[in-house]
Amino acid sequence: MSPLRPWQRMALATVTVLVALLAASWIIAWWLPAAWQQVVPTPLGYLAPISYLVTAACMTLGGAIAGRRFLVVALGLTFALWIATFVLLANIALATADGGHPLFAVFRTNVASAVLSLAAAALGTHLGARWQAHRALRATA
């Protein structure tokens, strides 16, 4: 069997991460206690610590498969998921708005969580890429 080309590793990593994120979300929803799934209200907005752990773990898989080049994909996937979340929350907020600025409120209460998710994705990718590099170094030694 020949080794995978870089674009094939990137595609494999992307699909693996998406499947892992979906599976982890399902597992968390069904098996994790409700108290662990709760968001934490802070002055910066709502935070979801378990979500950051899941993001980091799943992106570690991508980094381990595709290396440090996966960082752009990891951040892009996380950013795209947050854009979808903002659009969904904004549509809900607009439907229930009573004259205020619901879009600003949605953004203000979720931007810290989005930034932490992006940081978790970057950290996970970095850890996975370091593990891949370490594994490759040990294989050549």
CB atoms within 10 A of CB 123: 17
Query: Is there a domain that residue 39 lies in?
Result: no
Query: Is there a domain that residue 44 lies in?
Result: no
- pLDDT score for 58: 97
- pLDDT score for 97: 59
Query: E-strand spans in 20-118?
Result: 40-42, 45-47
Element (H, E) at 80: helix 70-96
pLDDT tens digits in sequence order for the chain, 141 residues long: 358 898 999 999 999 999 999 999 999 989 988 888 888 999 999 999 999 999 999 999 999 999 999 999 999 999 999 999 998 988 888 776 566 677 788 888 999 999 999 999 999 999 999 999 998 888 887
- pLDDT score for 98: 66
Rounded CA separation 10/121 (Å): 15
Query: Is there a domain that residue 115 lies in?
Result: yes
Q: How many domains does the chain have?
A: 1
Phi/psi of residue 96, nearest 5 degrees: -110, 5
- Residue 96 structural domain: 6-34+51-140
Query: Is there a domain that residue 104 lies in?
Result: yes
Query: Is there a domain that residue 40 lies in?
Result: no
- pLDDT score for 120: 98
Rounded CA separation 141/138 (Å): 5
Query: Is there a domain that residue 45 lies in?
Result: no
Q: Are 64 and 51 in contact (CB under 8 A)?
A: no
Query: Is there a domain that residue 29 lies in?
Result: yes
Query: Is there a domain that residue 113 lies in?
Result: yes
The residue type at 94 = L
Q: Are 56 and 124 in contact (CB under 8 A)?
A: yes
